[in-house]
A and B are shown apart, each in its own frame.
Chain A
Amino acid sequence: MAAPESGDGNNGAARMVTLISSDNTRFEVEAAAASLSQTLQLTILDGGGGGGDGIPLPNVDSATLSKVLEYCIKHAPAAANGGAPNATAVDRAELERFDNEFVNIDQSVLYSLIMAAHNLEIEGLQSLVAKKVADMIKGKSPMEIRRTLGFPDPTPEEQAEMNAHMLEYGWAYE
């Protein structure tokens, strides 16, 4: 008869929430991990997502969501310590290693990840993926950047603009 939330909150077991991806897959995670998302945090604080009814995420598919949650679960303990001021160097190194490994993935997955991180407002993940994409762009010429990101070939007009820009700021391409 007791409300499940209060029961979960008071004893040792962590409170769980259910997230539902766009393709209707249900993910059960600790509330602390899901709360890394600013978007979900309020819903979770209001007691949503527990029990039978999950939180639907119509913009995130299951493959992306599982990747996002992998990140959240790994980073939740550090985030709970308030940015982990007392974390050991070993812990920090481990997280860094995880992050590097985590973004070492196929480009298109990277883009769905950053989109999801943006929609869910997971700051750490967003900046991690943005940094990775920035690293892919760094040191490349405009044309190389277009190819790297798979943009369509420039129209003659665009090509002319690109050339004009490069002529003007040639020193930046040395």
Chain B
Amino acid sequence: MTSLNTAPILKSKHLLGIEGLSPFDITALLDLAETYVTQGRASDKKTALLKGRTLINLFFESSTRTQSSFELAGKRLGADVMNMSVKTSSVSKGETLIDTASTLNAMRPDILVVRHQDAGAAELLSRKLDCSVINAGDGAHEHPTQALLDALTIRRRLGGFEGLVVAICGDVLHSRVARSNLRLLSMMGARVRLVAPKTLLPADAERFGVEIHTDMKSGLAGADIVMMLRLQLERMSGAFVPSAREYFRFYGLDRAKLAMAKPGALVMHPGPMNRGVEIASDIADDVVVSLISEQVEMGVAIRMAILDALSRGMS
């Protein structure tokens, strides 16, 4: 089953960030993704929409769920999918990235999905390649497909975004997920709060039109959605946060802190989780409050919708 409507959805041939999308673009993508949720739950999950098209996954950072999600999305739409994992250690930044881009360009892919540790990498590739580029995460800049899958998950559960209070908690400073989510959710009318110790808050974050909180109590008060962020291991041993146990004590989501949110509040996490650091196991595993598994399912559907949308402009 494919979407019957084949009218263009996105103005750009690339998806580099939430910035640049309009509320209409987002709503259209979410609507389209609904059909792929249905398709993903059918016994025959495959169509031939992208038959003959080539999708390359180019990941400069290791990834399990984003890469496999794109691979599955591409395959379910009938595209040929190739995974290229590049060892970070052998890459000497800009120059090599351009070289890699020229090599790939010669292979004539239709869609390139790229993740890179440097902000702006996807943007740079989009200027050098003839194909569509999808940003699967560039440094601490954007991770638009994550924000879109989160939006799809939220909309399916709560019906919309207007007036929702969403608390994004944890390592906002280094998080592309947070940056894409706060852009998308604010644009769609949600009230976004960032909750973190000051060492993990980016400068001038309030300029995004969000509320800043440094303690979970006030940050979670009345929240409909509590979105936890991953804290990288190397950042919890004294540089940004003194220790994992102190982080969990003050910023880890456990029952007591969740009780400060609105009754029935839902919990999200982009994964992979650090149990006992940013989230307690009993919350992560509680199917009543945790949307974490649902986020993964919606990830495949939204990526199918994005591939569909981008393919509509292709010759």
Genuine A/B complex:
no
A-to-B contact residues, CB < 8 Å: none
B-to-A contact residues, CB < 8 Å: none
